[in-house]
Amino acid sequence: MSVKSVNSKLAVALEYDRKGAPRVVAKGKGALGEKIVEVAKANDVPIEENEVLAGALSNVELGDEIPPELYRAVAEVLVFVLRLSGHRR
């Protein structure tokens, strides 16, 4: 799953393997942010455009689980992703 901010070209990619909390696996601004989005699209990874959430997630170190204060916001994105993929109604 990728979360991006449209205006600042900030992108954050999350991985969730259902063990613990989702982890930040990629993040970047500008050209790097654009590349993250490009790779996500090429691999059919759903993208949620959320500037506030992307900004908060960009403060998480690569490889770290998201902090508890972001669980609810990320859970909402995960529900969105599951619905898109047909795994949840």
Between residues 79 and 82, which one has the greater pLDDT? 79
Considering the chain, what is the average pLDDT of its residues? 87
Q: Give residue 75's pLDDT.
A: 92
pTM recorded for the entire structure: 0.81
Pairing of strands 47-49, 23-28: unpaired
Which tens digit of pLDDT belongs to each residue from 27-37? 999 999 999 99
Q: Give residue 52's pLDDT.
A: 92
Q: Give residue 7's pLDDT.
A: 55
Checking if the pLDDT of 45 tops 60, the result is: yes
Is the C-alpha dihedral spanning 80, 12, 59, 53 positive or negative?
Answer: negative
